[in-house]
Structure 1
Amino acid sequence: MTQRQRPLMIGATAADPKRAVFIWNAIRKYFNEAGLETEYALYSTYDALCGAVLDGHVDIAWNAPMAHAQLLLQSPGTCRTLAMRDTDEDVHSLIVARADAAIADLDDLRGRRLALGVDISSELFLLPTAQLAEDGFDITSDCELVELEATEYSNLQRWVDDRAIFGAVMDGRADAGVIFEPWLGYLLRRHELAPDDIVEVWRTRPYCHCAYTSGPSLSETDSKRFVELLVAMDPEDPDIAEMMRMEHLTKWVRATDDGWSDLMGAVRKADLVGKIF
C-alpha cells in the first residue's frame, strides 16, 4: 500500500465563511482523530474549487449539484461520486401556485406566468425545464416567463432563489413558480401559510443534490477509507453533532453517479458542459 505524501485535501466553497470554518474544522478534527490525516481549503466559487480538483490540488470536493455533474461529465471514470447527505437523496423540484389561482396541473398552467431561477440553476431551471419538456410542456411557448431581479451574493454570483420565486407567487407577480422541495416548509412558515394555501402543480422525478466528488489525485485506498469514516459519523457524538445540524443532515450515505444522470443530461442539452460550475 502506497503511503500518502501529504494530507488528504478536501475542498469546499465559503459562501458563509463563519459557518464554513466551523463545519470544516469539525470534519478535519474527526478525520485526523480517526487516523486519516486531512486538511481543507475553502474557495470563493465552484469554478475555482473544481479547477483545483482537475489540477490535482484538491483530492475531494464538497460540491453543489451543478459542480458535481460538471466534474463527472468532464472527467468520466476519473472524477467519481463518493457520498452525500441523507437529505440529498431523492429530492424534487416543484411547481407551486396559490390555491386561489385555479392552477391544478400543467394544462392549467398554459398561458399563465411562471417564475424560475437563473438558467444555470440545477434545481430551479435546468432539471425542471428539461423534464417539463419531456412531459410535453415547453416553457418558451406554453407559458409566460416572469423575469425576477437576481441578487448578487458575496462571491459576486447572481441568483434568483426560492424565496424570491415563492414571494413572487404569493404577491401575484407570478401565477406559479419552481421551488426546491426542501425549502417548502420554511417558505410556508415565513409567509404564515398553511399547506393547503398552495397547490403543487407538478414535480420532477427524484434526483440527488450535493455530493462529495473524488478527483484524479485520489487513490482507491484513500477513497475507500474516506467514505468508510464519513458514513460512520455518529450524530450523537458531541464533537460533530452541531456540524451535522448546520449541514442539515442526520447521516452521510454512500452514493453513485446515477443520482446525477438527469442533471448531466440537462447540462448536455443546454450546451453547458465545462462552461459553468
Structure 2
Amino acid sequence: MPTLLLGAVAYDPKVVTIWAGFRAWLRDHGLPFDFVLYSNYERQAEDLASGRIHAAWNSPLAWLRVRRLAGHHVRPLVMRDTDQDLTSVVVVRADSPFEHLRDLKDHRVAVGAIDSPQATLIPVSLLRHAGLTPGENVTVRRFDVGVGLHGDHIGGERDAARALLTGEADAAAMIDANHLLFSGEGTLPAGSTRVLAHSEPYDHCVLAVHDSAPAGLADRLGELLLSMSYADPGVRPLLDLEGLTEWRPGRTTGFGPLEAAISESAFYDEDGRLTEPEYRP
C-alpha cells in the first residue's frame, strides 16, 4: 500500500515530537503515513508544488507561494482553530505622543524577520496604506532571526519588542497573541505599551495536499485529523505542543491581507518565484 508523505519545517526541536506522535496515532488508525523535515519553507513549498511530497504543513506565506506555483493542483485540507481570524498590531510605548499610524512619519518601526507574515509583511503593508514608505518617510528596522522559517521562530518579534522598550525604535510590529505573550513574560512590562493599529483579521497555517497524493489517503488524513479530540489523553499533549484544541477544515478566504502584502512588496512574483533580493533562506 502506498504511503502518504507530509513535509514539515523544523523550526523548533518539538516539531519532531509532534509529527512522530501524529505519525504513530495516524498509523494506529490505519493510515500509512510518514513525514520528512525541511530546514526552510521555500524548499518545502517547491517540493509540494512539484508533487515530490503529497502534503505539507505550511506557514501562510508558504501556502500562498504553493498556490502561485501549483494552482489548482493543491488544496487546503485542515488548519488549527488557532489559525483563524488573527491580527497583527503596531505597538508604541504607553507614554508616546502617537495617535495614528501616519504619526510615525520620520520615525523608526521595528519589525520581525524579512519573511514573517505577522511581524513584517502585513504590518509594513499597514504602514504603506497609511502613507508611509519604508526608506523614504519611515525607517523600518528588521530583526532577521530564523530567516526561512516564515516567522515561526518568534525571536525577531521579541527583539523588535525589546527595541521598542529600550528606545531604539518608536514602534514595533507583532502578532496580537505575541503582544500578550511578551507582556505576560515581562519582555514588555505590563502597562508599558499600547496598540496603535490593528491589521484586518487573517488566517495563518494550513495543511495542504497535492493532487498527486495516493487515491483516498489525503481525504482520510483530513478525516482523521478532524476526528482528533482534545479530551483524548493520547493526543492532547501533541495538540498542546502544536498549539490547538481542534482541527478545522481548511479554507482559502482568510489570506487577503497577506496576498496584498506579497504583491506590494514583490516578495514573490505571480508565478511564485522569489523576487525579494534581500531574502536568503
Q: Give the TM-score, by structure 1 length.
A: 0.87
CA RMSD of aligned residues (A): 2.6
| Equivalent residue, structure 1, for 2:8 | 12
Q: 1:223 to 1:270 in 2, by over 3 A?
A: same
Q: Map residues 106-121 of structure 1 onto 2, 5 A cutoff.
A: 106-121=101-116
Q: Map residues 1-277 of structure 1 onto 2, 5 A cutoff.
A: 5-17=1-13, 19-146=14-141, 148=143, 150-151=144-145, 161-191=156-186, 195-218=190-213, 221-271=216-266, 272=268, 273-275=272-274
Partner Cα separation in structure 1 for residue 260 and residue 71 of structure 2:
14
Farther off after superposition, 204-213 or 48-57? 48-57
Q: 1:160 to 1:28 in 2, by over 3 A?
A: closer
Contact 1:54 1:216 in 2 (8 A): no
Farther off after superposition, 263-272 or 62-71? 263-272
The letter for the 2-side match of 1:269 is E
Farther off after superposition, 200-209 or 131-140? 131-140
Q: 1:78 to 1:102 in 2, by over 3 A?
A: same
Contact 1:70 1:264 in 2 (8 A): no
Contact 2:112 2:142 in 1 (8 A): no
Shift of 1:189: 2.2
Partner Cα separation in structure 1 for residue 37 and residue 6 of structure 2:
9
Identical counterparts, % of pairs: 27
Shift of 1:7: 1.0
Give the count of matched residue pairs. Answer: 270
Unaligned runs of 5+ in 2: none
Shift of 1:138: 3.2
- Secondary structure at the residue paired with 1:108? helix
The letter for the 2-side match of 1:274 is R
Shift of 1:94: 0.5
Shift of 1:219: 5.5
Farther off after superposition, 240-249 or 255-264? 255-264
Unaligned runs of 5+ in 1: none
Q: Give the TM-score, by structure 2 length.
A: 0.86
Shift of 1:214: 1.1
